[in-house]
Structure 1
Amino acid sequence: MALAPGETHETFIREVDENLRRSQAENFFKRFGKWLIAALVLFLVATAAYLYWQERQRARAAAQGEQFAAVLNDISTGRTGKPVEQKLQAIAAESSGEMAGLARLTVGALALQNGDRSKAVTSFQAVANDDDQPQSVRTAALMRQTALEFDQLGPDQVIARLQPYATPDSPWFGTAGELTAMAMLKAGRKAQAGQLFGRIADAKDVPGSIRARALQIAGSLGVDATAGLPAGQ
């Protein structure tokens, strides 16, 4: 095949290659174009549906958060009757995850405030055993449940239940450690209890009220923990 004037072999080869690629692309599109378009449309629809669902979830969570805040405001102003509990139960039923857990924790706290200890324990236990809840919410429920059940549980039960949390590196060390040390006292293990109370009094991340109690009890058990307690405590 003769070359056009001014055309080199490289130019000719490049043009042939481009035409071949164009032809292959056209044939490919003829064979699979409809499927590609359908897949693209499906992807766009799925993306739009997911974004819509996310927005609905955010809007729903915001609305539930406002409802929960309103209920907490009712409780803070002394309204703790059946209507408030029903609102909390509705939030717990309609919500998922942490919001549901917090609503049920509040139901338990409200029951305790109204003198229904058994109902409070049941509410806290349900949250503590709910695998769908964040661990922080489950642990908070477990602490409340154990504190309420303390007199009915054997010392070894309390110690075993709280063992993962009664360590200085746990954010629950104050509460779990105090309950564990009290269980040790109940079991007659005074030396161990005194040492644990001493560690609680010396833990800087533990609330001051718990540290002050721990310091006092540690002292009564012959453990001097004053070195770790800030002045004024």
Structure 2
Amino acid sequence: MSEEFIREVDEDLRQKQLTGLWQKYGSYLIAFLVGIVIFVAGNVTLKNYNESQYAEVAEQYGKVQADVTANQLDQALKDIEAISGTDVEGYKILIGFKAADIHMQKGETEKAVVALDELSSAAGVEKVYRDLARLKAAMIAMDTATYDETKARLAPLTIEGNSWKYMAKELLAMAALTAGHGEEAKNLLTELEQDLEAPDDVKTRAKDFKSVIQ
């Protein structure tokens, strides 16, 4: 049995392990992101419905929600466009994430990423939400983007003090592994494992992903 054949089998097994890990943990990360957005949406909506000056935008946003529920996605996007220029606090965040979600439901991945990119650079939006939009855009685009593109999106989020540091490092490590940059992935995962402040589940995932790197 040749060394080349053994190497190919080895590589195939590692790729299957990586795919399995992504299937296991990718859904967790996506669910976490969705949960954060729903939490933000709930807080903003409750706050704004209780203040009369938000009533008009709240009503228009309610139409968007109703359109989505009725599966009238094109109409929902038109309704979003009608209020996309609003300066009402909080709704710019909701509109950006909702537009991306609708495009994803329509199978329009590139448009979803564009909507999130616009939110990530929007004026008047708190940094934590702009960074969340950047993170979600990177996750959506991971299957089609180059590693350099993914890195450009995520690297600013991996710095100390960023709210999304751990998740950004995990995603960047996954992208590095997929692109064949094993050493870079290993360094990121080692940082996660050795970070004293990292949650235990983050350290566990980092250890699992490291196990597929030679």
With the shorter chain as reference, the TM-score category is 0.5 to 0.7
- Residues 163 and 62 of structure 1: CA distance in aligned 2, closer, same or farther (over 3 Å): same
Distance across 1 between alignment mates of 2:204 and 2:83? 38
Return closer, same or farther for 1:99/1:106 CA change in 2, 3 Å cut-off: same
Matched, 1:191 2:183: yes
Structure 1 unaligned spans of 5+: 1-57, 223-233
- CA, structure 1 residues 184+81, in 2 after alignment: closer, same or farther (shift >3 Å)? closer
Q: Equivalences for 1:197-208 in 2 at 5 Å?
A: 197-200=189-192, 208=201
Counterpart CA distance in 1 for 2:200 and 2:104 is 23
On the 8 A contact 2:147/2:176 being kept in 1, the answer is: yes
Higher RCO (CA-CA < 8 Å; seq separation 6+): 2
Q: 1:106 maps to which residue?
A: 98
Show the 5 A alignment for 1:77-226. Answer: 77=69, 79-96=71-88, 98-167=90-159, 169-200=161-192, 208=201, 213-221=205-213
Amino acid at match of 1:141: A
- Percent of aligned positions with the same letter in both sequences? 22
Alignment correspondent of 2:9 = none
Partner of 1:49: none
Residue identity in the other structure for 1:59? S
Which protein has the larger Cα radius of gyration, Structure 1 or Structure 2?
A: 1
Separation of aligned partners in 1, 2:184 and 2:82: 45
Quick one: structure 1 residues 206 and 80, their matched pair in 2 at CA, closer, same or farther if it must change by over 3 Å? farther
Deviation at 1:152, TM superposition (A): 4.0
Normalised by the length of structure 1, the TM-score is: 0.55
- Alignment coverage as a number of residue pairs: 163
Deviation at 1:177, TM superposition (A): 0.9
1:93 aligned counterpart, secondary structure: coil
The answer to whether the 8 A contact 1:174-1:207 is kept is no
Does residue 68 of structure 1 match 2:61?
A: yes
Secondary structure in 2 aligned to 1:105? helix
- Root-mean-square deviation (CA, aligned residues, Å) is 3.3
1:211 Cα deviation after fit:
5.9
Gaps in structure 2 of 5+ consecutive residues: 1-50
